[in-house]
Chain A
Amino acid sequence: DGGITQSPKYLFRKEGQNVTLSCEQNLNHDAMYWYRQDPGQGLRLIYYSQIVNDFQKGDIAEGYSVSREKKESFPLTVTSAQKNPTAFYLCASSIWDQPQHFGDGTRLSIL
């Protein structure tokens, strides 16, 4: 089945470590997005990419980095510069004139 796969579902990080969250889609979508969600709040955009080898910062990009080397993959790295990384991270993708579709998220916690 086509869809968006985020892995792992739960992730733990020690303070000072970088960690990379995976997002893969087999929908042949051009655009991919990363959002962050804190408890009781809506989603906030971290980064997005409309085509391979190109991406733009969203509203809360500080402390995060991304790459888009392949159309189907858009990994997010949470760096040690992100002061409050504990959150629910959601990846989405879309194609021209169609709505964004989301994966089931990765919950990141600091040990």
Chain B
Amino acid sequence: DAKTTQPTSMDCAEGRAANLPCNHSTISGNEYVYWYRQIHSQGPQYIIHGLKNNETNEMASLIITEDRKSSTLILPHATLRDTAVYYCIVSLEYGNKLVFGAGTILRVKS
């Protein structure tokens, strides 16, 4: 499984867009990029995933570079409830092994 690199932490003002970067330079052609988040003492929550095209759902947008070596998760209007650890994971679509790194701690501040 490809490994990912994320910043340890980020701050974002409430109401502004939060842009969380992820590097995955060793991603293979059939691996997807997944994003999950985890609020303290809860199970991870699925956010979004994609292969090569940009994706958008009710929670977020995912921008994947053309060479697929990096991606950005965008929360368009961050709220205090978006404060969490965000994990970027690369895996086959039927993800038998989701390899979680340490993730990015996002702090949304009022």
Contacts and interface: CB of A to CB of B under 8 A. Distances in A.
Interface of A: 4, 6, 31, 33, 35, 40-45, 48, 50, 58-59, 88, 90, 92, 94, 96-97, 99-105, 107
Contacts of B46: 99-101
B49 A45 contact: no
A79 B45 CA distance: 29
Main SS at interface, chain A = strand
A99 B102 contact: no
Interface stretch (B13-21, B60-68, B87-95): B87-95
B82 to A, nearest CB: 18
Interface of B: 34, 41-46, 49, 87, 93-103
The 3 nearest A-B residue pairs measured at CB = A42-B100, A102-B43, A43-B100
Nearest to B101: A42
Main SS at interface, chain B = loop
Given A102-B44, A104-B43, A97 B94 contact: yes
B97 to A, nearest CB: 6
A58 B98 contact: no
A96 B94 CA distance: 6
Contacts of A31: 94, 96
B104 to A, nearest CB: 11
Contacts of A102: 43-45
Contacts of B102: 40-42
A100 B87 contact: no
B107 to A, nearest CB: 15
Contacts of A90: 43-44
B100 A44 contact: yes
B71 to A, nearest CB: 16
A94 B44 contact: no
B43 A100 contact: no
Contacts of B43: 4, 6, 90, 92, 102-105
A51 to B, nearest CB: 12
A34 to B, nearest CB: 12
A21 B95 CA distance: 23
